Structure 1
């Protein structure tokens, strides 16, 4: 059984399940430990599962999380961490009308998308991230910044709540490293 280090490790694996291909990796990748010193471990990290079994476990864990997390939390995780564009778009469609914010619909739509797709190469166009383009009514900048803060805080809170719930579910099902030991 795959053992996850913590909720963040689990979420990153299940939200990127499409890229886990089951091919053998060079030995150094299995021993690499990302730390301040970027060191190689003396022994290989091994959970006893084949790549196919690991992918199957990730798929089962993903299914469990989707079934057991409240919809707003699942969609916030999918929108923030999924590598599947269709899933991100579905999450945006779900979350936009449910965001608790004083902003109007256009602002919420653009704010949710900007939160889900941070500025980066090959992301949304740079003009999309300009705050004044999120409003057609001439609302003052101070109000727009407040609306953005409230909207993004609500979204971040859903992600934080989901992390807590995922941690509990992993513990309950014996999928955390310390509970498996």
Structure 2
């Protein structure tokens, strides 16, 4: 077993994709395009265990499979929540906010989705790594998201509603990813 859970597989695959490594595509040698059983990852898993290919190769395989098989909104929810690759994360955020139904104004929705996907980091000025997207501290002030200055209770309700929708998308995406990985023969200890 390569991964302990679906979440571990997703996070590992998204992290591997962010690493610039020209040998990442070695897993493609194991792929058999005409394979009818659809269990290509089972072959991959056993190849990792035998040391024939690296964990990085497996992660890249999982990335490619999930990217091609998941619904776009599920893929974008996972990338927005778990990816560290700035470009992909920003693109996914921009595709997610139009999908969120809310009575909140557009600026509020965009800001809430962005703050959810790029949470405020603890530490000196919220900075831990230069490789991560860090928003200015004032970005997280929900008073700035609503120019009409509606009541605090309303803004908090909107924010929670938006976050609930996004977390539901992530849950659905992890469930769908688990089904894909299971179909491919890559068993997990737990579903998420």
TM-score if structure 2 supplies the norm length?
Answer: 0.73
Taking the aligned partners of 2:64 and 2:101, their CA distance within structure 1 comes to: 27
In the other structure, the counterpart of 2:175 is 164
In the other structure, the counterpart of 2:114 is 113
Deviation string, structure 1 residues 43-75 (Cα, Å, up to 9, x no partner): xxx83336x632222112111111111111110
Are positions 1:49 and 2:48 aligned together? Answer: no
Q: CA deviation at 1:131?
A: 1.1
Pick one of 124, 127, 137 that aligns with 2:148. Answer: 137
Q: CA deviation at 1:93?
A: 0.8
8 Å CA contact 2:14–2:83 kept in 1: the answer is: yes
Taking the aligned partners of 1:97 and 1:82, their CA distance within structure 2 comes to: 20
Q: Taking CA–CA contacts closer than 8 Å with sequence separation of 6 or more, which of the two structures ends up with the larger relative contact order?
A: 2
Query: Which aligned segments of 4 or more residues in structure 1 are displaced greater than 3 angstroms?
Result: none
Aligned positions, number: 153
User: 1:49 and 1:158, CA in 2 relative to 1: closer, same or farther beyond 3 A?
Assistant: farther
8 Å CA contact 2:15–2:84 kept in 1: the answer is: yes
In the other structure, the counterpart of 1:13 is 12
TM-score if structure 1 supplies the norm length?
Answer: 0.78
Are positions 1:4 and 2:15 aligned together? Answer: no
Output the aligned Cα RMSD.
2.1
Three-state SS of the structure 2 residue aligned to 1:110 is helix
Consecutive unaligned residues in structure 1, runs of 5 or more = 22-45
Consecutive unaligned residues in structure 2, runs of 5 or more = 22-47, 128-133
Q: CA deviation at 1:3?
A: 2.4
